[in-house]
Structure 1
C-alpha cells in the first residue's frame, strides 16, 4: 500500500498504472488518517477519505467507507487535506459523512421542491387563473345560460375578493367573506355563487390542484322561497297584447314563452338547427337544457306562425332575393336582435314589456308584479285547468320529477309526443280565445 505525504510534488509525481491505486497520506504530524489520492489507469487523480463509523451501542465499527472529496485541479492538496480533517472530525463525532452528504442533498431537494411549489402556488394556482381555466372547460359541455351564470359568479363576485390568493391557501373564512359580499337580499345570487364555487372547488380537488375541498363543510345559503305566482287569464291576455306592441324580437320572444311554456333561456337560445318545419318539432339536445335531458317540443300552428315571421324578417335583413317565410334558415339564432347572436338582454326585454303594460289600455286588466318564469308556471296551471293529464304537463315542461322520477323514470319511456302536441294546441286555442275578447 503506497504511502507518502499528500503534497503537490507527490500528486504531480503520481503516474497512472495498469490498475487503479491509492496513495495514502503519510506526512508526519500533518497526516490525516484515511486521506488519500486515487489514481486511475486513465490518469484521473481524485482525493478521497476512507473511514469507519462506530455502530450504535457497540465498540466495533462498520466496514470501511470511502468519501470522494474531489478531483485534483478543482482542489489543491492543501484544500483537500483541510476537507479531510473536517470529515475526520465528523467521524469522531459519530457522524457518517456519506449519510450527511445524502441528507444535505435530500434537504436541498426538499427545499427546491418547496420553492417550486411555492412559485406554482403564487403563479399558476392563483385563484383567478384556476377559475378562468375552469370556465374554459365548463363552457365546452354546458349550455350558454349556465356558462353565463358561472362567469358572473366568478368574475363579479369571487375573483374580485380572492384575486392573487393561491387557491390551495384560501380558507373558509376568506371564501365565506366572498359569499357574504353578495347582497343579503339577493338570495338567488347567493345560492348561485355558492353552487358554482362548489363545482369549481370539486373540479380543482379532483385535478389535484388543492388537497382539501372546503366547500361541502360550509353553510349553504338559504334558498329562495318558492313562488306560486300565476297570471289569471285577464293578465295573460294583457301581457300578450303588450307583446304585440314591442319591437321584434322582444314581442315574439314573449309570445313564444307563453305558447310553449319553455324556460326563458331555452327560448332565447333557440337555434334554427333545432327546428324542423316539416315535422313541426323543436328538438333540444341535453347540453341545451337545464336538467340535461333531451326534449322535443311540438310546434303548433301559432308557434309556426311566429317562427315564419322571424324567418321572413331574417331573410329581409340578409337581403335575400326571394324571401319566403316557409323556408327557415338551416342554422343561427332564432330570437336575435341583429341576427348574429341569441337574445341575452333579458332585463331589457322585461323592462320593455313592463313599460308597455304601464300604458293605458282600454278594457285591459292591470297586471300585478310578475316575473318571466311565471309564464311557465301559468301554462302548467292552465293545462291542468284544461284537463291535461299531469304526466303530459310534466312532459311538456320537461320536468324530471313526480311521475318521471326514480323507478318510474327508468321504465316509463313513453315520449308523450302526440299528447304534448294536443295539450299545446289546446293551450294555444285558449290563448287565442282570451286575447280575442274585448
Structure 2
C-alpha cells in the first residue's frame, strides 16, 4: 500500500488482507508505520537500521489508548533519536529488562549479604541481614535498586522515629548497601548521598536490680519452650542474644562443663570458651537426651526468635510477680513499676554484678568476650592469656549469688 501520513482516518480506512500483514509507512516520519494483520488487529511499529546493519522492527503498541497516531509518532521520534545515537531500541529494552532483574532489590540484598556482609561484618552480618529481610525487602522487594528514592527511605525511617537505635541501624545498613552498589557501578548515585545520618543513640546504662533479676528468673519459669531456658541461659552465661539463640549441642562439652563458641559465630572472630556453672549445667541436663543440632529451637532448623514479643510477655509476668511480692510486704502494688529494659541489658547486669563481686575488669571483659578496654590495642595483641580458670571462678560466683537471691 502506498505510503501516506498516518492519521486516525488512515487507521480506519485500512482493510485487512486475508493472506498477509499490510504495512503503511508514514510520509512525515522515517520508519514510523501501521501494521494490519489478516485478523484485523492493528498496531503502530517502528522500522530502523543501526549503523547500516539489517533492518529491525519494533512494535510500539496496539491501536487504541494510549496509542493514537500522534502519541505513537512521538514515541517513534524518541526511538529514532536512539538510532541516530547508535543505540538499538530493541536491545536497549532487553538490556534494561536484564538490568532491572539483576537489580531487583530482594535478590540484590541477598547478593550483598553473600559478597559483602558475611566477609566484612562477620560478627554482625546476621543482624544486618535480618534488618534487610524484615524491614525493607517486604516494602521494596520487587523494585529495582535504582528505582528506590530518598523519599522511600525517609518514609521507612519515619516509621521508626520512636525507636532511635533501630532507626540508626536501618540507616547504617542501607547506606552501606547503596555505597557498595555505587562502588560496583550498579547504580549512578546513592539516594542517601548528602542525607544526614540519624543522631547517635546515647549508650544504654540500664542495669536490672537484684529484685528485677529474680522477677525475670521467675517469669522465665512461666514462659513456654524455648523461651524459659533461653532467657535463663542469657542470665547465667552473659553472652550475646544471638550467640545464645544459635547455641548448638555440638558446641557443648557437658563432661568438661564448658560451651565453646566457634570463631565463625563470635563477634570478634575469635573462639570463646564459656565455663558452665552449676545452674547452667542443670538447665542443659534438663534438655537431654537431645544432643544434636540447635538447642533453643521449635523447628529443629531455625533458632528461637520473636524477641520483642517474648520480652513483652516476660515483662508482664515480671510485673505480676513484683506486685504480688509488694502485696505480701504490705505495700501498694500500684506503685510497682519496671523501667524499660532490653534483653541486652542482661549482659550489662551480669557484668555489673561481677564487678560488685570483686572480679577484675580484665576477667569480666573476658567473660563477655569483649575486645576493648584492657584487652584492646597493644595489650590485646600481646596478652593472649584466655583467663579460663578466672572466668570459671567469676561465673561460679555469679551462680552462687543467683542461688542466694532465690533463682
> TM class, shorter-chain normalised?
0.5 to 0.7
Which secondary structure state, in structure 1, belongs to the residue aligned with residue 250 of structure 2?
helix
Q: Choose which of 395, 400, 410 in structure 1 pairs with 2:371.
A: 400
Would you say the 8 A contact 1:235–1:367 is kept in 2?
no
Q: Choose which of 354, 358, 365 in structure 1 pairs with 2:315.
A: 354
Task: Please list every run of 5 or more consecutive structure 1 residues that lacks an aligned counterpart in the other structure.
Answer: 1-68, 70-103, 315-328
Aligned counterpart, 1:341 = 302
Q: TM-score, normalization: structure 1?
A: 0.63
**Residue range with higher mean Cα deviation, 255-264 or 340-349:** 340-349
Q: TM-score, normalization: structure 2?
A: 0.67
Task: Please list every run of 5 or more consecutive structure 2 residues that lacks an aligned counterpart in the other structure.
Answer: 1-51, 53-81
Give the CA deviation at 1:339. 4.4
Which secondary structure state, in structure 1, belongs to the residue aligned with residue 173 of structure 2?
helix
Aligned counterpart, 1:198 = 175
**Residue range with higher mean Cα deviation, 150-159 or 228-237:** 150-159
Q: Distance in 1 between matches of 2:147 and 2:201?
A: 31
1:118 corresponds to 2:96? yes
Would you say the 8 A contact 1:128–1:162 is kept in 2?
yes
1:432 corresponds to 2:403? yes
Q: Distance in 2 between matches of 1:240 and 1:389?
A: 26
Q: Distance in 2 between matches of 1:221 and 1:368?
A: 28
Which secondary structure state, in structure 1, belongs to the residue aligned with residue 259 of structure 2?
strand
Change (3 A) 1:234 1:347: same
- In the TM superposition, 1:53-92 aligns within 5 A as none
Structure number with bigger Rg: 1
Aligned counterpart, 2:338 = 368
Aligned counterpart, 2:132 = 153
Which secondary structure state, in structure 1, belongs to the residue aligned with residue 86 of structure 2?
helix
Q: Deviations over 1:232-274 (max 9, x none)?
A: 2222122222322333332211211111111122111111111
Q: Distance in 2 between matches of 1:251 and 1:303?
A: 13
Q: Distance in 2 between matches of 1:409 and 1:217?
A: 37
1:412 corresponds to 2:383? yes
Give the CA deviation at 1:105. 9.9
Q: Choose which of 265, 283, 286 in structure 1 pairs with 2:260.
A: 283
Change (3 A) 1:353 1:179: closer
Q: Distance in 2 between matches of 1:434 and 1:337?
A: 31
Change (3 A) 1:126 1:412: same
Aligned counterpart, 1:61 = none
Q: Choose which of 355, 377, 382 in structure 1 pairs with 2:348.
A: 377
Q: Distance in 2 between matches of 1:368 and 1:180?
A: 28
Change (3 A) 1:201 1:261: same
Change (3 A) 1:253 1:411: same
Change (3 A) 1:345 1:143: farther
Q: Choose which of 162, 170, 182 in structure 1 pairs with 2:159.
A: 182
Q: Deviations over 1:286-318 (max 9, x none)?
A: 332334443221112221111111124x4xxxx
**Residue range with higher mean Cα deviation, 141-150 or 181-190:** 141-150
Change (3 A) 1:408 1:190: same
1:422 corresponds to 2:386? no
Which secondary structure state, in structure 1, belongs to the residue aligned with residue 406 of structure 2?
helix
Give the CA deviation at 1:196. 1.5
Would you say the 8 A contact 2:246–2:295 is kept in 1?
yes
Q: Distance in 1 between matches of 2:343 and 2:215?
A: 14
Q: Aligned-pair RMSD on alpha carbons?
A: 3.3
Q: Deviations over 1:75-123 (max 9, x none)?
A: xxxxxxxxxxxxxxxxxxxxxxxxxxxxx99943687875565344333
Q: Distance in 2 between matches of 1:150 and 1:380?
A: 28
Which secondary structure state, in structure 2, belongs to the residue aligned with residue 359 of structure 1?
helix
Would you say the 8 A contact 2:123–2:266 is kept in 1?
no
Q: Deviations over 1:357-413 (max 9, x none)?
A: 233534589562332222111101000001111111111111121112222222221
Would you say the 8 A contact 1:138–1:147 is kept in 2?
no
**Residue range with higher mean Cα deviation, 421-430 or 133-142:** 133-142
- In the TM superposition, 1:7-22 aligns within 5 A as none
Would you say the 8 A contact 1:161–1:178 is kept in 2?
no
